[in-house]
Copies of this chain bind each other. A is one copy, B any other.
Amino acid sequence: MKEQDPSPMASVGPFNDDDGLPGEREQRHVHKVGVPPRQNLFQEFSATVKETFFHDAPLRHFKDQSHSRKLLLGVEAVFPIVQWGRSYNLSKFKGDVIAGFTIASLCIPQDIGYAKLANLPPQYGLYSSFVPPIIYAFMGSSRDIAIGPVAVVSLLLGTLLQNEIDPTQNPADYLRLAFTATFFAGITQVTLGFFRLGFLIDFLSHAAIVGFMGGAAITIALQQLKGFLGIKDFTKKSDIISVMRSVFSSAPHSWNGPTILIGASFLCFLLVAKYIGKKNRKLFWIPAIAPLLSVVLSTFLVYITHADKKGVQIVNHIQKGINPLSLNDIFFSGENVLKGFRVGVVAGLIALTEAIAIGRTFAGMKDYQIDGNKEMVALGTMNVVGSMTSCYVATGSFSRTAVNYMAGCHTAVSNLVMSFVVFLTLEFITPLFKYTPNAILAAIIISAVINLIDYEAAILIWKTDKFDFVACIGAFFGVIFSSVEIGLLVAVSISFAKILLQVTRPRTAILGNVPRTTVYRNILQYPEATQVPGVLIIRVDSAIYFSNSNYIKERILRWLTDEDEKSNATYSQGIQFLIVEMSPVTDIDTSGIHALEELHRSLQKREVQLVLANPGPVVIDKLHASGFANVIGEDKIFLTVADAVTSCSPKRVEEA
């Protein structure tokens, strides 16, 4: 049943299409299709498991090592700091300190603002920039990522949590639910990483993320209009219609003049600083310290002018002191556990997606590798510990990571430095924020999220792949016009629909002979390709699995019916041979074999001969194992389409 011919000429296998040169037909050596050696079940299974879960060979360097070394390597795997900590030196420390201070100055005002997005008191933002980065520095693999609360996850958390518990009416339970969600977010992340299921987050396509982030950014910016304009009554909903209605129905008379002045002027300042940083990369530190500078200046201004008496809303109070323990605040029983679980899983997955994308991008830029699954374990642990120390979901922030990178960070010690600065802030500096106007925080957030609107990427997506663009736009409009959850749902659904489409509706094409060659090409792509009378050649562009086998069979039969009609009209004879060109068919399963058998039977009834051309190694193997090769006759399986056509209608080919 299985042939294996060692001679190279005769065992020239599949993927061997025609030569493209004319005048070669007479001495055509019809090569036998080679069949590869059979792997036993265990080999095949372990190869598949290895490729699926361990494709990056994470245990590669464990080979051939002594036991104590393996133990050390194991500790290093969980705590990479043990490895890079040993080669740490003063110059690296210098770079990390500068970078750490720079991102700290950026993160402090952002944290206070982001906590508001999550409907939490401002100190929780600072807490989440204190503990999580420390955990990450010990366990994480990225050298550049800057850890802390981020805009989109804060918004997501705020929106999802307030659907469950009202933060104004029941702030204590709301806080507890936030910790519960953070806990489950961390558990989700650790589980995915530990079971090496990290590839699951690849299922959110890049295009959908671009749209989702852009929509989230606009939503966040719109919500800042509350603080920016000094409006007191503002909608809780996040969609653009509700927000616009809130803004304009409160009408200009309830907009607070001084607030708008402060907000607008500092927003201009921040945007100009950003522009300068973009134009001249050496001046990256300008947009980095601009937020803190604005906070200091505006606080001073408000204090001097007593603007808070004139209606400018201020932060007023940030709890002093570092993170209290919150282990007892997490819901471990009751109905809130499920609520927290649901919110936590979603927030955890989005946080993962951001952090992994950031980690990969910067690792690519500095050309080192990070193990995605190991990163997930680190991020998850960070959030689990954070949930027990009054933090909410923290992840990598793209803007802060970019600043970290450009400020010259070398290792995750920059995160430790930033954490230390936040610690100092919490212990000593928080009272100074008393007079900080909300408007400045709103301006800082608006200038921060503008980065997330990546219209250049959207244009590129439009040019490259229209389906991806639909995913992008769908997610974008879903977030803007409905809510963050709906936008996310749209993004995931469109991503899945694309996979479904790929899997259930593969392409098929009719091939014709390009004149004066023995090459067969898609007649739609090459209008000059002519079909051979009485012969229909169809190429199937995918593996034939249960998910598409029935479709492929019905599609081929439909091609046959249509072409038969045309052939009868043109040549007064029908199709007598159906050649299935199988080079793109990388695999076939039992449903696929089934479909081929049914196709063969249908064709026999119509007196059409089924011929197979160019089956790959895996396919030829299964055709033999299932006995189908005997059913159709082994003389009906050819190496190339040209060979198949020659055998079908030798007379006709000579005439051509």
Residues of A bordering B, CB below 8 Å? 6, 8-9, 11-13, 15-21, 24, 31, 34, 36, 41, 44-45, 48, 51-52, 55-57, 199, 202-207, 360, 364-365, 367, 369, 460-461, 463-468, 495, 498-499, 501-507, 514-517, 519, 521-522, 524-526, 528, 541-543, 545-551, 554-555, 557-558, 583-584, 586-591, 593-594, 598, 601-602, 605-606, 617, 622, 625-627
Chain B contacts for A587, CB-based, 8 A: 502, 507
**Smallest beta-carbon distance A504→chain B, Å:** 5
Contact between chains at B517 and A12 (CB < 8 Å): yes
Contact between chains at B55 and A558 (CB < 8 Å): yes
Contact between chains at A8 and B590 (CB < 8 Å): no
A-B contact pairs, 30 of them (CB 8 A): A6-B528, A8-B516, A12-B517, A13-B522, A15-B583, A16-B17, A16-B18, A16-B20, A19-B19, A34-B526, A36-B524, A44-B466, A48-B505, A52-B501, A199-B550, A202-B547, A202-B548, A202-B549, A202-B551, A203-B546, A204-B546, A205-B546, A465-B588, A467-B589, A499-B503, A502-B545, A502-B587, A503-B503, A541-B586, A583-B584
Give Cα A587 to B617, complex, Å: 22
Give Cα A605 to B524, complex, Å: 40
Closest to A497 in B: B52
| Given known contacts A34-B526, A526-B13, A590 and B468 CB-to-CB distance under 8 angstroms | yes
Give Cα A588 to B465, complex, Å: 8
Give Cα A498 to B360, complex, Å: 27
Partner of A34, one of B18, B525, B598, B602: B525
Give Cα A460 to B625, complex, Å: 8
The 8 closest A-B pairs by CB, nearest first: A19-B19, A205-B546, A464-B626, A206-B591, A36-B525, A367-B605, A17-B17, A541-B586
Contact between chains at A56 and B558 (CB < 8 Å): yes
Contact between chains at A514 and B8 (CB < 8 Å): yes
| Given known contacts A11-B526, A44-B466, A586 and B589 CB-to-CB distance under 8 angstroms | no
Give Cα A16 to B640, complex, Å: 11
**Smallest beta-carbon distance A357→chain B, Å:** 10
Give Cα A19 to B16, complex, Å: 7
| Given known contacts A465-B590, A517-B8, A547 and B499 CB-to-CB distance under 8 angstroms | yes
| Apart from A8-B514, A18-B19, A55-B505, 15 more pairs, CB < 8 Å | A13-B526, A34-B526, A36-B525, A52-B501, A55-B551, A55-B555, A202-B550, A205-B591, A207-B589, A468-B591, A498-B546, A498-B589, A502-B503, A542-B586, A584-B586
Chain B contacts for A8, CB-based, 8 A: 514-517, 526, 528
Give Cα A48 to B94, complex, Å: 57
Give Cα A56 to B588, complex, Å: 23
Closest to A541 in B: B586
Contact between chains at B199 and A45 (CB < 8 Å): no
**Smallest beta-carbon distance A61→chain B, Å:** 12
**Smallest beta-carbon distance A8→chain B, Å:** 5
Chain B contacts for A584, CB-based, 8 A: 583-584, 586
Give Cα A549 to B111, complex, Å: 34
**Smallest beta-carbon distance A252→chain B, Å:** 42
Partner of A589, one of B45, B468, B549: B468
Partner of A498, one of B202, B465, B541, B545: B545
| Given known contacts A19-B18, A517-B8, A525 and B617 CB-to-CB distance under 8 angstroms | yes
Closest to A628 in B: B464
Closest to A520 in B: B15
Contact between chains at A48 and B501 (CB < 8 Å): yes
